[in-house]
Chains A and B, each alone.
Chain A
Amino acid sequence: MGEAIGVLRNTWRGLTSMRTALVLLFLLALAALPGALLPQRSLNASKVDEYRAQHPALGPILERLGAFDVFASPWFAAIYLLLFVSLVGCLVPRTLDYARSARARPVGTPRNLARLPHHRAATVGLTPDEVVETANDRLRGWRVERRVEAGGAHTLSAEKGYLREVGNLVFHFALLALLVAFAVGKLFGYEGQVIVLANGGQFCNSGLLSYDSFRPGLRVDGTDLDPFCVRVDGFTADYDETTGQARSFSADLAYQDAADIEGGRWERSELRVNHPLRLAGDRVYLLGHGYAPIFTVTFPDGQQRTNTIQWRPMDPQTLLSEGATKFDPPGVTDAQQRRERQLAVTGLLAPTAFFDGSLLTSSFAEPRDPAVAVDVLRGDLGNDSGRGQSIFTVDQSMVETGRLVRVARQNLRPGEELTLDDGTRVRFDGVEQWASLQVSHDPAQLWVLVSALLVLAGLGVSLTIKRRRFWVRATPAQGHDLDGRTVVELGGLARTDQAGYGEEFARLATGVTTALDERAETERDARCRST
């Protein structure tokens, strides 16, 4: 039993020692590095898949180690939790120590001041008591303690810079608070992305299904989201004429919070990069934009269907985009028949068309002269296969197995159309803009900010303030012609590494000796007059 307690105590001491904390710090740094060097699932899942395909041997091992999810891996958590346990174990006793020392008197004067790093000595014509009194007057702002030693010497101990330890403690406690607030945010926060057409397209934060992708915190199940709606009424982008580089993006936004939804009111706002819309619990960001081609299909029986589906930009400079707009034949209820007559219009979309022969590229990101180069595919889109489908592509396995067949290929400008062998006509009507929005929710981020600012403040205090000590010993001088004179010794010690206390000590010591000399002179003058 006693042995077990001994082992526990030794483990605790080991864990809370500075050496262990240092090793844990370096382990933390080391463990974070793969997070920057390897693709991370949380940032870009497709990059992870790509990497795994390229490294068939290494990939599964790294996967099992959690190297593609470093910051959610148990070993990363183990390191920082141990580090913070070690931190607590170090901070609590230090706080108690500080509380005690904050009330304690400055320590006694060392016997041999000459052995201190900073030292000075002088002899003055004052009594020891007067010396200490004068020195005391010079040490404003210092905590001082006067003592009389057995040999008749008067001493003064002074100490300053208690705030250093306060800064130190604040820094470390604030780090703890930061971690807690970070964790709370991860538990109760969420992030979702959605693409909205910029022609009055609407998005309401009503649940998981409203989003294209949604990343919930561990305690978020997608119900009870803060209710609000946004409507994108337009999108403007401004480009540099010569370079084609974008200068600004802006989405013309209408929104309603819970109260507005009740009353059916819309409020106006402008969404720009770096200027999110901040609602009570959520923030809405403008992440990106692109184009959605409008296609109208006229089926042989005369029925028309129009679809406007976002295509994704391939080139951020020219916004040449790719995508797939899919159509179901109208009025066909038989699943078998439908699977033979579904249509997909896929290919490229250029906002400002530039033809190299018949090859379409884009020369500018603005929709000045849009054109599409499309393949029309007919057959089974594979919607019923049970597999998830990207809205930007057709299911390639359907093409490979011959169930989805290319029936036309053509370049189209707005208003132009192509006709399929069965008389179906596909018309390209033009383009709409879309905006990609992100909704973020993090109830603890204000606390993260407060903690971070405290970290900074504590750091500043603890690195600028020096804990330093100053001592004076006034001993009656020995010797027949030195009667009435006093040997003054000054000593200084900074408790801080590389404190650069030397200059301050020199200034202080000179101040004290000057004051002593001045006082000795006035005392002598006074004595001369009185005799």
Chain B
Amino acid sequence: MPVHVTLATYSDWMYAAALVIYIGALLLHAAQLAGRKARLPELVGVAAGSAERTGAPAQAEAPVAAGAPADPVEAAAPGIGRSERLGRMAVSLTVLGALVHAGSLLLRGLAVERVPWGNMYEFGSSICLVAVVTWLVVVRREPAVLRLGAFVLLPIVILLFTSGTLLYTKAAPLMPALQSYWIVVHVSAAVIASGVLLVAGVASLLFLARSANDRDGDRFARLARRLPAAGVLDRVAYRGTVFAFPVWTFAIITGAIWAETAWGRYWGWDPKETVAFVAWVIYAGYLHARATAGWRNGRAAWVNVAGFAVMVFNLFFVNLVVAGLHSYAGVG
């Protein structure tokens, strides 16, 4: 199995290009948020009269007073505002970035004649692509989340940057332990679940900020007024998790089947297996919490955030620090 060096080089260039494009989209999203900040008090002032003077939490009350829809910003901006235009440009840029990113992975795969998720650099890159695509799907189905762009793209850009620098691995054939068709099934399921759960985790985190602000207008005031309604955030988090949980279950089961073929046992409490199990239990807890009175909102969101934290821990700490059978990072 030779390595096609030219293709691998092009793949690396496209990776860098995708990262730059994502950063551009991130900046546009940031400008979108900043634009909001500058315009809000003035517009709300017009709508609600003396809201500013009385010191009332303007964003929460103004629309109600004016009888406008629940969303102060959408209500204030006639037609498509400047900030929404910025947001849409950011999304278009993200689509471009995703295409270049997918091209980078495709070329990497062609260069080494195998699936492009055989080491941690490729794994991280694949997860990011899934997260970006998930984000684009969510934006299409729930336009209200457009404002989340910066918050979703930020962890993706960080993860891509880390993968492309610290974890970068030259294009190479797979080590014998990974030469199995199960790598196609098991790892892709893990990639898809991780990417979707990343978006869900961010949504839950922002849900917590937003609902804390709903209870007490002083908390996260600068952040929360730029966020969509708590209900929207909650829905994104829940639907994402409901989609990803069975995929994650599938990833664990196929992992066990592969482990039986490769290591002689289907389950051996290898650190990666253990943490995958912990994440599974936490996400199962999230789904149950959603059906339990008293846990439904705040606590369930905390559980989802904990699940996300465990996934990140599983990706970095277990692969890089803890030595186990899953140490395929190819770094250090």
A residues near B (Cβ < 8 Å) are 18-19, 21-22, 25-26, 28-29, 32-33, 35-37, 40, 42-43, 70-71, 182, 191, 240, 243, 245-249, 272-276, 283, 285, 287, 438, 440, 442, 445, 448-449, 452-453, 455-456, 459-460, 463, 497-498, 500
Contact = CB atoms under 8 A, between A and B. Distances in A.
A248 B179 contact: yes
A36 B318 contact: yes
Contacts of A283: 264
B269 A42 contact: yes
Contacts of B294: 19
A62 B310 CA distance: 23
Nearest to A30: B278
A426 to B, nearest CB: 35
Nearest to B318: A36
B180 A22 contact: no
Nearest 5 CB-CB pairings of A with B:
A440-B264, A36-B274, A36-B271, A274-B180, A29-B281
B250 interface: yes
B245 A459 contact: yes
Given A18-B292, A35-B269, A274-B180, A463 B173 contact: no
Contacts of B182: 274
Nearest to A237: B176
B265 A442 contact: yes
A324 to B, nearest CB: 26
B179 to A, nearest CB: 6
A445 B291 CA distance: 33
B175 A245 contact: yes
Interface string B163-184: 0000000001101110110100
Nearest to B289: A22
B270 A43 contact: yes
A276 B310 CA distance: 33
Contacts of A245: 172-173, 175
Contact of B261 (A32, A182, A276, A497): A276
A283 B253 CA distance: 20
B285 A22 contact: yes
Interface string B231-254: 000110011001001100110010
B16 interface: no
A338 to B, nearest CB: 40
B43 interface: no
9 contacts: A22-B288, A25-B285, A26-B285, A29-B285, A70-B269, A247-B176, A274-B179, A442-B265, A497-B290
B261 A22 contact: no
A25 B260 CA distance: 26
Nearest to B322: A36
Interface of B: 1, 172-173, 175-177, 179-180, 182, 234-235, 238-239, 242, 245-246, 249-250, 253, 256-258, 260-272, 274-275, 277-278, 281-282, 284-285, 288-292, 294-296, 303, 310, 318, 322, 324
B245 A37 contact: no
Nearest to A246: B176
Contacts of B179: 248, 273-274
Given A36-B278, A452-B253, A460-B246, 5 more contacts: A22-B285, A22-B292, A33-B274, A445-B260, A500-B239
Contacts of A18: 288, 291-292
B256 to A, nearest CB: 7
A276 B264 CA distance: 8
A26 B284 CA distance: 10
B253 A273 contact: no
Contact of A25 (B175, B177, B269, B284): B284
Contacts of B256: 448, 452
A463 B285 contact: no
Contacts of A43: 268-270, 324
B187 to A, nearest CB: 14
A359 B180 CA distance: 39
A463 B266 CA distance: 26
Contacts of A497: 238, 290-291, 296
A250 to B, nearest CB: 9
A453 B172 contact: no
Given A36-B318, A274-B177, A191 B264 contact: yes
A445 B253 CA distance: 12
B203 to A, nearest CB: 13
**Most chain B beta-carbon contacts within 10 A, residue among A29, A33, A463, A497:** A29
B323 to A, nearest CB: 8
Contact of B176 (A26, A182, A248): A248
A42 B325 CA distance: 14
Nearest to B260: A445
A514 B260 CA distance: 57
A194 to B, nearest CB: 12
Contact of A455 (B249, B258, B285, B291): B249
Contacts of B272: 36
Q: Which of B238, B253, B277, B278 has the most CB of A within 10 A?
A: B278
A497 B295 CA distance: 13
Nearest to B263: A285
Given A40-B269, A497-B290, A25 B281 contact: yes
Interface centre among A28, A36, A42, A191 (most CB of B within 10 A): A36
A438 B239 CA distance: 44
Contact of B265 (A19, A440, A455): A440
A463 B283 CA distance: 13
Given A22-B289, A36-B322, A459-B249, A448 B266 contact: yes
B257 to A, nearest CB: 7
Contacts of B258: 274
A26 B285 CA distance: 7
A22 to B, nearest CB: 6
Contacts of B250: 456
A29 B180 contact: no
A291 to B, nearest CB: 18
A438 B176 contact: no
Contacts of B265: 191, 440, 442
Given A22-B295, A36-B274, A276-B261, A249 B176 contact: yes
Contact of B175 (A246, A460, A500): A246
A456 B177 contact: no
A299 to B, nearest CB: 43
Contacts of B288: 18, 21-22, 25
A283 B179 CA distance: 19
Contact of B264 (A22, A32, A438): A438
A494 to B, nearest CB: 13
A70 B257 CA distance: 23
B274 A26 contact: no
Interface centre among B239, B257, B274 (most CB of A within 10 A): B274
Nearest to B256: A452
Contacts of A452: 253, 256
B292 A19 contact: yes
Contacts of B267: 182
Contacts of B270: 43
A50 B266 CA distance: 28
Contact of A37 (B261, B264, B310, B322): B322
A273 B322 CA distance: 23
Given A273-B176, A276-B261, A71 B282 contact: no
A285 B265 CA distance: 10
A456 B282 contact: no
Nearest to B273: A36
Nearest to B291: A497
B1 to A, nearest CB: 7
Nearest to B287: A463
B246 A456 contact: yes
A463 B261 contact: no
B281 A28 contact: yes
